[in-house]
Amino acid sequence: MSADPKHSRPAGGPDGAAPGEAGANAMWGGRFTGGPAEVMQRINASIDFDRRLYAQDIAASKAHCEMLVRQGIVSSEDGAAILQGLDTIAREIEDGSFTFKAALEDIHMNVEARLEELIGEAAGRLHTARSRNDQVATDFRLWVRDASDALDSALAGLQAALLDQAEAHAATVMPGYTHLQAAQPITFGHHLMAYVEMLGRDRGRLADGRRRLNECPLGAAALAGTSFPIDRAMTARALGFDRPSANSIDAVSDRDFALEFLSAGAILAVHLSRLAEEIVIWCSQGFGFVALSDAFTTGSSIMPQKKNPDAAELLRARSGRVIGGLSSLLIVMKGLPLAYGKDMQEDKEPVFDAADTLALSVAAATGMVRDLRPEVEAMRAATRTGYLTATDLADWLVRVPGLPFRKAHRATGAIVKRAAELDCDIAELPLAELQAIEPGITKEVYRVLSIERAVESRSSFGGTAPAEVSAAVAAARERYL
């Protein structure tokens, strides 16, 4: 698309009414003789945001028209005029010449009104055997499906960036943390691979939701179906759906697909926020594990020495928008009786905002991961504090002298305490000090107290050993990319 319809020209008159239009909205039929109050028009109109559905709306209308013609419900001449008119409208929206009118409420009525201007009375035949209820349900499913595909592709790009860094740093040692306290030595590559797996689950949730949403509501009409001899399977196939939805009431009232997209998006946003938080921590002077270039940092208006990881901080904060969108739509839907209620007009803005937020967030995360420079020496230096090989000592006491693990755990704790008293690492304690606490210790124990040896020894599947990390990177490339 060459233009964003959000920036197309506004409504014709100052109050948003279409030029020459007065009184009741002609699209409502003869039931109404008066027009809506100005505030009613403002609260009722959705064109400011649902114009984003224009491509999906036109695609669904074309599929519906072709089905009506094949079923003999609309003549081939009228069908050809409708299809030509819809193509013209699509071009107008894309080139910015289409005038959206608030008085026509939504994208569906705006398209239909313009179609009537282009081809006359034949335009009115397009709405045969459908309602705005099944129309918007179809359009919105198509939009969420497209958004899911775009987000999945972006996540694959983020995984690729993480895999490149993990592969380059499969053997770069750093402290691993629990409770943000140094725990055991790991590799930087192994740490990054955790995010690859998290994002893999995010992609799985999106794919699962996409599979479930891929049923076509078109033809359900307002809520009860239609008496016209339509072919719902034909329109479903034309729009790339797996099947028509099975129940007409559920078809127009279901927004599970939007909730699932937001739910998957909220979990993804939390994952991105955790990554962003770690980048913020790693960039701090207390850690100094990574550095970001000027491309992803900002300065201070008063402190010239500052270089702040603002991209990561903003990424961390934006998770709240997606989580809020999920909460918002859950609250909208929680008390609605079947089938359709106007409340459901509030379904789109949270989804649109979440999709935009996630697209930008994933792009920012990908850029930062590719930009960050690991400070290898700082990571290595940090492994010299925190007694990171204490678990290796306990394991050695189980394997060699044959102590029960609980006894080995207590002995190791006492050794760590003694090292703290002497202000040294456990690997620096003399053998006599070690044997004073556990007589079964021999000089062979020093072999397992090396940071590199500790990392290399964790060669179980999914472990931090460099060879295992390299294998995991190769397997992830095969699985995800």
Q: Which residue out of 75, 153, 284, 300 is catalytically annotated?
A: 300
Contact 44, 199 (CB under 8 A): no
The Cα–Cα gap between 348 and 57 comes to 14
Q: Which residue out of 179, 227, 301, 460 is catalytically annotated?
A: 179
**Amino acid identity at 243:** R
DSSP string, 222-243: TTT--SS---HHHHHHHTT-SE
Provide CB contacts within 8 A for 167, sequence distance 6+: 189, 470, 473
Q: Token digits for 77?
A: 């001449």
- Residue 271 bears catalytic tag: no
Question: CB-hemisphere CA count at 13 Å for 70?
Answer: 13
Provide CB contacts within 8 A for 259, sequence distance 6+: 326, 329, 330, 333
The Cα–Cα gap between 51 and 387 comes to 60
**Amino acid identity at 43:** I
Contact 164, 192 (CB under 8 A): no
Q: Is the dihedral of CA 419, 422, 425, 427 positive or negative?
A: negative
Contact 336, 250 (CB under 8 A): no
- Residue 179 bears catalytic tag: yes
Q: What share of the chain is helix, strand, coil (3-state, %, to 5)?
A: 65, 5, 30
Active-site residue set = 179, 300
